[in-house]
Amino acid sequence: MIKRVGQRIAVAAERWLNSNGHEGYLDDYKWEYNLVEDKTVNAWCMPGGKIVFYTGILPIAQNETGIAAIMGHEVAHALANHGQQRMSAAYIQQGLAIAGNVAIKDEQTRGIFNQSYGIGSNVLGMLPFSRSHETQADEIGLTLMAIAGYNPDEAAELWKRMKANSGGQAPPEFLSTHPSNDTRISNLQSWAPKAKAEAKKFGVSSFRPLGEF
């Protein structure tokens, strides 16, 4: 099922990219779909198309459409090269920290700089940067799952289950790499009609059954 959903999302991604003037964008991608026996509630996709789902996320996905919502999100990260961008940003963050330590000779001032820079660069820089990636992947992923024939309304339902699974144990949004569950649910609900309209351009006017496991 993971492979089946992944292949459908990959085909949807290629169709969507081609229609937006990005023919050949996926030529160097080598799609690979793996299911790993692990209780971790997670899935990820590396640049180039290697996708991993952990079995721990399956009860929350609940059905094939839930898998498609997760798969669309992870594939969107790969399409947008978010992994590479985050690595580049981390190198820049580290480089500025080193430059500051070299420039500041006074040990006490250097200590204040390191503490302030560490907090400031994360809260004002890296964390919002990461959250923007997650939001972009949510929106693109919603479009991909719709084009692949999966009902985008179900993405918000998936995140309601994610919220319930977390038991409300999440840091404030401004201290997190991800948008809050409530923000994601609200965004996904507001974007679903747009994703359906986009899918219609590809001849998709009805969606697959949820596909219980």
Q: Half-sphere exposure of residue 139, counting CA atoms within 13 Å on the CB side? A: 12
Q: Is 23 exposed, middle or buried (0-12, 13-18, 19+ CB in 10 A)?
A: exposed
Q: Is 168 exposed, middle or buried (0-12, 13-18, 19+ CB in 10 A)?
A: exposed
180 contacts 173 by C-beta, under 8 angstroms: yes
Query: Considering 14, 64, 74, 157, which one is annotated as catalytic?
Result: 74
Q: Half-sphere exposure of residue 4, counting CA atoms within 13 Å on the CB side? A: 7
Q: Which residues pair with 52 in a beta bridge?
A: 34, 44
> Is 74 in the active site?
yes
Q: Is 126 exposed, middle or buried (0-12, 13-18, 19+ CB in 10 A)?
A: middle
Q: How many whole angstroms separate alpha carbon 4 and alpha carbon 16?
A: 18
What H or E segment, with its residue span, contains residue 34?
strand 32-36
Catalytic positions are 74
